[in-house]
Structure 1
């Protein structure tokens, strides 16, 4: 039997939720779900929206397929393991973003609305209303398989979603904890169970460590501050982050006997800071620190236990510690700065001030300045900068930067004269501040032997 013409957007897929959907289309949809589970389906991101195709090539939206699959599952005796297998297969094929809304709506309707009564939101900033167990709900009416599935979805939001999705995780787990507190306690103790046992908990003569993917936490308690202890801590962090099921935004809770911090005023004196300030003392561990930083640095991800003005990209303190060791690590610093969120992250400014006070403006360090400028809303100069730039070598290096500004701009702006002018203006501001707006004043105050160089800079 031949299929009708595709009736989805741009004719890219079949709709399967209309009452008059052709039975043959539904048959192909069910085959597509089975093919996803068996690994024979294929996805297509070449145009919008993303579709998946069964082995016959029939296209459907991933969210529609998942909604159809879930809608046919029994709510009593919910087949938790089967549902997880299908969801994992769909996520791996099409991506989390293609199925997360459908999963969220399912938990809302089948768990929150069936088992709870929603009150009024406390304020307009609250994402969810307060929910209490329905007074007429009998314990035997609650299906444990369905609650296990709610926990699975909650963990997925932390592991695969954006950093702010942890509020969804918390809401779902709060619901489950009101009905089956031991279920959530098990998650708090052991996580989802997907991490290898040796990573869930580890104990050596140097340290005790644990990792929980459900709550995105890594805890390390060190018994000493030796090179061996720091080596084990770094190795453990790398092993955890190499696990694809561990969240990219997470907390590191570190306790050690030595309260050592980096020589950067204003950094939060948290355990994660202490760990890398201790580790950087041992040159043999520097490559291990870089390995951790490169595993950790992910755009739009954060250390979850740092907030507000201290919000920081994972890997921040490892990068800062290595950056202050010298030029060998400045490529890493630039890669880190490129991943910073210029709307929310400003901790790097404190680091950059110290870096340039220590090493000055050179041909090697000035690229770091340009990447730093682009990593935040505004890099404020400090008074020492005017003195540090006032030498022939530094000014020549600055002029060389101007000749290659296109190398620091995205491809679409590299040949845009205005984009290059804006970047150069920002570079001058980062060194001279408001005085850069009137180059004549800066030139007038320059040493006599350097005036010609300053005139070239502000030309």
Structure 2
């Protein structure tokens, strides 16, 4: 008996959510579930949407396969290990984003909807409404394994999801806390248990440290200010981030005997700032600081314990510390700036101001300026910049960068003349601000006679490029 025609988009897969779905198609779906567990199923990202194929090649939507698996599980005596094993296997196969919505819908239906009275959102910006335990709920009706699965989904949201999914994590933990507070308390104390014991907790002559993958936190307390102490702290941070199960957005809570901060005005005075302000004072640790930065830097990930207006990508303070040490670290700085979320991140502006005030505008520092302009919506100039650029070396460096503008643009924009002009106008604004408007007429007019030609060339429109 042959299978019917595929009824998914462009005939790419079979739909299995309809009541009249062909029974043989459902048999193939069940076989696909088993193949996922056995590790013989395959995924296909070559087109939209992503599909998962059974060992025999029958294609399905990952979300529908997940729903078919989950909604046939008993809610009393919920098979926690079986559910986690399947979800982990499917996540590894197709990726978290292919299954996260349907997993959260399951929790909201089977846990939030059954155990709680769901209130109204106080305002549009609330991700979830307030929930209180239903007064009619009897304790024996609550399945602890289902609550454990809720915690599993909560942790997955933090470990594998985007930074904003931590809101879902907090909501699910709040639900479980109302029914089984000890369950969440155990996670707070020990995490999921997946991290090695030496990573979960560490105590040496120089520091104490702990990492919690469930709550995405790293805590380090330094006992002294020695090279050995900060070397151990950096090694520990790197070891934590080398654990594939540890979240990529996280908090670093550091306490040390001395409160000093990076010499960058306006940076949040947090422990992570203190850590790298102190560690960078040891040249022997610079490569360890870079190692941490490279491990930490991830686009669209954040330090969770910084306010929204001071949000920063993991690795930020390590990069800033090294960047102020000199040109050897500026390639790292440029790589960092390329990863910054230009719609939300602006802390790098404070660093860039400090860097150019210290090192001025030179041929070596100019790439940092161009990458910095593209790292945020608008890089505003420091008041000192007009004076710092007003010398022959700096003006020539800027003109040389203008002549090689395409080197600073992403590959897809190298032939886009509008992109060239947009970048150049951003650079001019970052140095001169409003004075760069109207073709820089005010700047050119007040420039020394010996430099007028250079200024005129700088403010000329970008030449048409083929």
1:305 maps onto 2:326 in alignment: no
Q: Residue in 1 aligned with 2:463? A: none
Equivalent-residue separation in structure 2 for 1:345 and 1:49 (angstroms): 31
Counterpart mapping for 1:150-189 below 5 A: 150-189=150-189
For residue 335 of structure 1, what is the aligned residue in structure 2? 335
Counterpart of 2:464? none
State the SS of the aligned residue for 1:377.
coil
Q: CA deviation at 1:228?
A: 0.5
| Counterpart residue number, 1:380 | 380
Partners of 1:384 and 1:443 in 2: CA distance: 18
The corresponding residue for 1:286 is 286
Matched, 1:457 2:458: yes
CA apart distance, 1:440: 2.6
SS of aligned partner of 2:218: strand
Provide Cα deviations, 1:378-433, integer angstroms capped at 9, x if missing partner.
Answer: 11112221121112211111111111111222222211112111211111111111
Structure 2 partner of 1:391 = 391
For the residues of structure 2 that align with 1:176 and 1:309, how far apart are their CA atoms?
31
Paired residue secondary structure (1:412): helix
Distance 2:141 2:307 in 1: 41
TM-score, normalised by the number of residues in structure 2:
0.97
2:254 pairs with 1:254: yes
Q: Deviations over 1:285-328 (max 9, x none)?
A: 10110010011111111110001321111111000000000000
Which residue of 1 is the match for residue 237 of structure 2? 237
Cross-structure match for 2:203: 203
Is residue 180 of structure 2 the alignment partner of residue 147 of structure 1? no
| Matched positions, count | 459
5+ long unaligned stretches in structure 1:
none
Q: How far apart in 2 are the matches of 1:337 and 1:433?
A: 21
2:58: which partner in 1?
58
| 2:415 matched residue in structure 1 | 415
Q: Give the distance between the partners of 1:415 and 1:404, measured in 2 at CA.
A: 13
> Distance in 1 between the 2:247 and 2:418 partners?
40
Output the aligned Cα RMSD.
1.0
**Residues 62-107 of structure 1, C-alpha deviation per residue, up to 9 Å, x if partnerless?**
1100100011111111110110000000000000011111111110
Q: Which residue of 2 aligns with 1:295?
A: 295
CA distance in 1, matches of 2:272, 2:327: 24
SS in 1 for 2:26: helix
Instruction: Write the mapping of 1:435-446 to structure 2, written as runs, cut at 5 A.
Output: 435-438=435-438, 439-446=440-447
Distance 2:129 2:353 in 1: 44
Gaps of 5+ in 2: 461-466
The equivalent of 2:425 in structure 1 is 425
- Aligned pair 1:80/2:80, yes or no? yes
In structure 2, the partner of 1:263 is: 263
Q: Distance in 2 between matches of 1:444 and 1:126?
A: 53
1:234: how far off? 0.5
CA distance in structure 2 between the partners assigned to 1:292 and 1:24 by the alignment: 52
> Helix, strand or coil: the match of 2:411?
coil
In the alignment, is residue 318 of structure 1 matched against residue 322 of structure 2?
no
Residue 124 of structure 1 and its aligned partner are, at CA, apart by 2.7
Distance in 1 between residues matched to 2:117 and 2:422, nearest whole Å: 55
Q: Tell me, in whole angstroms, the C-alpha distance in 2 between the residues paired with 1:264 and 1:193.
A: 39
Question: What is the TM-score with the length of structure 1 in the denominator?
Answer: 0.98
Secondary structure, counterpart of 2:167 in structure 1? helix
Say which SS state the counterpart of residue 407 (structure 2) adopts: helix
